[in-house]
Structure 1
Amino acid sequence: MGEDVASVRGVTFRRSAVATALWILTSTAVLLSGLPETVRAAFSGGAIAVTAVVAATSCLLAARRSRGRRRRAWALLAAAGYVGFSGNAVALLTGTTQTGDLAYLGALLIGALALLSFPSSPVRRPQVARMVLDGVVVGGSVLFIAAVAVFPGREVVGPWLSYLIALVLPLVDAVLATLAVFLITRSSRSDFVPLLLVGLSFVLYALADLSYATLGVSTFSLGSAVDLGWITGYAMGGLAARHPGAVGAPPEPRRDESSPVGATVLTFSLFIVAAMVGVATRAGAPWSPVATALWIVILVAVAARQTILVVHNERLRRELEGRVRARTSELRTMTQSTELVLASVADGIYGVDRAGLVTFVNPAAARTLGYSAADLVGHDAHETFHAPGADGVPFPADGCYITEAVRDGLTTSAEEDRYRRADGKDIPVEVTASSLLDGTHVIGAVVVFRDMTQRREVDRLKNEFVSVISHELRTPLTSIHGSLGLLAGGAVGEMTPQAARMVTIALESSKRLARLINDILEVERMEAGVSTIETANHSAHDLVRAAVDQVRGMADTEGVSVRLGEVTGHVHADADRMVQTFTNLLGNAVKFSPPGSEVAVSARPSGAFVEFRVADRGRGIPPDRLEAIFGRFEQVDTTDAREKGGTGLGLAISRSIVERHGGRIWVTSTLGEGSTFHVAVPRAEVVDHLTAGATKTDLIDVRVTKKEMG
């Protein structure tokens, strides 16, 4: 429907353009013909009146089809046309020009309001004033050049009031034409052609009014080529109202506000040209009163324009300085608050740029590392205080969490590391590293670390206490377990059924307590590094098969099947310890799988490791528990110990065993679908290669591969 309306309006505009062209050609032929002066004068007066009425009516129709500011603009142009027609009619009926000239001047002022009413990007009042004054300078300069070059030396004839009014008319016309051109740069594309036609109409009016003023107000009569300016001017205004864009178009993004530089260059270029022409013609003949008055108006407009511009710029400068002061104060307050927060945090915080150089350090970080902040800023963080491995081999910068945060945008949380203080002492730390973003672009990283020395000491004392207590409990527990066994076996005689049941419960409880103590001691030995690890090359299939055989009976009891999938590769490990690990994992998988489900185990080489997988179809593990379940006495649910049994130490022991082998254990899980435990153990071929004379670079490559698997 919208396309049909636009098409109809386009056809109407083309027809109107053709009719306008024919009408202008007809008027030109008549006024330039050899017809008697009275005939040409009569035709000219009627043509001006008819064209004015048609143009005003077209503007009125455009106003009725428009909305908002555009409706007001076309309504004002219609009013200007009717006022101009009324002045022309009064002049013809009374034979005087003063009333008509006043009506023309009023029509032009109404036209100025119309131009300012067209939709455009917001413009401040000083900018509007500057645009109007630019129009005065540009239009006045053009008219001044015409006055001194085209109509030099004209004398004033007739009443001064009529002459002054006639002098103002072309100047106002030129101002409006220039204003229309300036408004085009601030309007939507749909308004371009209508405003251009309106501006052209004022230009034609200005030329005709200039001729009227310079040829002589009292002696001027209709019927000459000068009348074509008024006829064509009215025709262009009416044609502008017939254009499809006159009634508006769908909203478009408005153009950015144009720079005043272009307008300033145009304004003063014409002003300089007018001054040069005036100087050149002044020596030959004195200026006419028209030219003199125009030059005075131009000078006043230039002075006013520059005054407004200076005042406006000074106000903008003061406003800008005030905003800068306020913003600076806000930034200073924010900076002080940030520095206070960083200084108050007990954890160490430092930032690095994309090259890994330290950009800031909070007091806690400098104090923990034994440096001053100035000693660290600008230095490479990894090389300055990241401690090497236990064998003295520095960890590669490419595998560092700082590099990963800057290069890959990865976030590292709660990773254990060792930092080297300025005095050469190594301290254990827990690190969190994240990328520093500027929008979507990584510009660096922020690292938060915590000194774990005291926590490690507390853990050591706790573990030592538990170990001592566990050792002290084993002796009396062995006696209790033996005595209960003798009672259950009838060594002291036959017991009543009730007594036998109580002894059996006590015996099972003592066995469970013994397993708990053994598990605690096993964890202690593993973490202390005193547990013996006898490594050799073993087939991954043999290790997994041995573990599956051990849990087969438990799986049958629970109604769960254990499937041995594809298992390939060889590992360098302690066979008994690895079977113990796989047995723990398979036992947990069976225990937490629903009856009728399947537990699958597989293994395949992956880089420098063989990766084992134990997958179940149980209830799954929440994301926030994926790491916690490898801690001591940790289970997914607090009710699992009572319902499923177990001590909560199996996964802690498994992690200790795997890490003692230089491997890694982790879990992936989806709630409601099951979990998969992954165990990465060094491949036998890699270990044999290292043992045969590998370099430090080979060792680093293995560490990097291990890190990438996580």
Structure 2
Amino acid sequence: MSIKPLQTDIQFLRDTIYGLTEQIDLLTILQDISKGIVSGFDFEEIISKFLDIVKEIINYKYAALFIYNRNSREYTLLKARQGENVFFEEKNINRPDKEIIKWVFKEKRWISIPPSETGSPEHERHSILPLQGTQEQIGFLLIISDAGDSIFNKTNQTILSFIADQTAIAIENQNLYSRLDRSKKHIANIVESINSGIITIDMSDNITLVNKNATAMLAIQSADLTGKNYRTVLSRELVTIINNLKSRLLEDGFVLEKKFEHNPFRDFAIRLGITASLITDEKDETTGIIFIFRDMMASKEIQRLTQLDELKNEFVSNVSHELRTPLSIIKSYVEAILDQVEPDDHETQRDFLSVINEETDRLTLLVNDLLDISRIESGKFELTLTSVLLSDVIYSVTATMGKRDSRHKIITKIPSNLPVIYADRDKVTQVIINLLNNAIKFSPEGGTIEINVVPEKGKLWCHVSDQGIGIDQENLHHIFDKFFRVDNSDKYEIAGTGLGLPIVKHIMESHGGDITVKSESGKGSVFSIGFPCNAVDDENET
């Protein structure tokens, strides 16, 4: 047996074992380094560990870390170190050429630049170590060391490349965590600012989110409900409702809003609406349920205010039109009298002046309505009460309006010996004029208008009926609302501001009286007003 080949084999095994031991030691070092860097979640901590580890491997004179700014598309100096822990400003560093940086990231490996190419002193060597994340460029480390240092052996290169990659991933992860944290806070702020109450649960019925409005609406005392089963913290009544919604939602995939009364305190109830939706993940698998609670009173108030705002806008448009129309007519007739009618043509002048007078009356009524609604809104609406015969007011108004309108026949049924009412005569006149104007306006094809006065149950009632287009039931409940106008544009274009009937209602209520209406679309309307009085019988038709 030859001894020499055996010795060769033994030496080979020794070298192999030594090499494997070095590799194991290197892997152990890399594992420890990786744990130290990746375990950090604080950005400053990650950077400090990275520079500390590089310092242990290479006895550098200076090290400067540049981070890529996505907004400016430039590399910005983040931190620089000289010696142990002395930091210096960017102005003391010669930045690498942009083309060299591009090459480093393209080749994905580090590079050492001789002093002749950097313009640095001969004893200095510049090295660039790229930090490349999985998704984007993170930055690079500029290392300035003595030219004689043997830092580019294979082991150092392996370790430095490895820690650069690990640091880049750690920084990338930290950026993702920061963005995620900002997104979570942003969403949390949105959830807290929503007017509705929100509760979310997982598929184990544990609460995952509750906003402040939910705790306020449901009078939940516990400060932190996250992780608790909703059955243990909500009222029995609410648990039953949520159980039913949950079952229907999981079975049908959707639920309609359920309205219910919640009693968070004794002798106090609020009306809530609750609806639910499934929460799904990216695979469209259900991960939970969101319950949304709505204060029905607040929702109705918002809806009412929105409608009121729309009505006010429409009112401004209508008033502008109502003012412009008579003014245009008055201006036209005045111009005609001045420029076209002969001075001795008294008949034409009289006709034109009659039209001007009528349009002036229209303007006066409109202005009075605007003033009255302003007084009502400000609480300055006042009455001057005197003894008034309602029959006298009615006869006076019908006599004047009958002359102006030939398409309608006005019939009055007024008993003799009517009781006197204690009222503001001008305001009573305004009420009768308004009701007659409405009857005429909403009977565009003419017809009979009947005024029937009847003493009944301590009140003197005046019923004004017409044969006009009537009012459908949907609009009947709103005709006394400010600015409301019945939309009959599909049949007739009827002008108006929507102020007359609200003013009439206020006048009647100010007198302690009543106003009612009966109507059916296409069959006319009957408006009834009742003034307090002493009942008297006996009827006289005129």
TM superposition score normalised by structure 1: 0.29
Higher strand share: 2
TM superposition score normalised by structure 2: 0.36
Higher helix share: 1
